[in-house]
Amino acid sequence: MTTQHVTLDLPDALYQRLRRRAEEAHRTVEDELLDVVAGAVPGEDDLPPDLAEAVSQLSVLDDDALFRAASTTMPVDAVEELDRLHDKRQREGLTESEAQAAAALTRRYEQIMLVRAEATALLVDRGRDVSVIAGSA
């Protein structure tokens, strides 16, 4: 992969926040900044392949299946583990395996939320009342 060198002047407060995040994640400031920039700038494809796959077949589902998809939630134990890892990251940082587990749980959460949003949008497009879904978040 070809890289480009960039010089960037950051306000001290922003730099300190990035530095703290990097320290908590046991990473360099440069790696942390690259992740922030990569997350803020969309890639060539709208969605990463795993997320695109998660929503690719929703449009062929019937309304009942879409309501189930739109009401899906992350299991309580997974939410609790993600919260625990997030708290630990803020307090003392994570080991590499904990950081990987947190990333996997975050990705799972993102996939669930994307499926919920897409399924809800499809139901709205079909003229269905989705107000019952709001209570299942």
pLDDT at 134: 66
Identity of the residue numbered 13: A
If pLDDT is split at 50, 70 and 90, which confidence band does 3 have? confident
Contact between 89 and 101 (Cβ < 8 Å): no
Give the predicted TM-score (pTM) of the model: 0.62
For 33, other C-beta atoms within 10 Å of its C-beta total: 20
Residue pair 28/22 in contact by the 8 Å Cβ criterion: yes
Residues 34-57 pLDDT 10s: 888 877 765 655 677 888 888 888
Q: What are the residue ranges spanned by the domains of the chain?
A: 9-41, 48-136
Asked if residue 98 lies in contact with residue 88, where contact means CB atoms within 8 angstroms, the answer is yes
Q: What is the pLDDT, as a whole number, of residue 74?
A: 95
By residue count, the chain amounts to 137
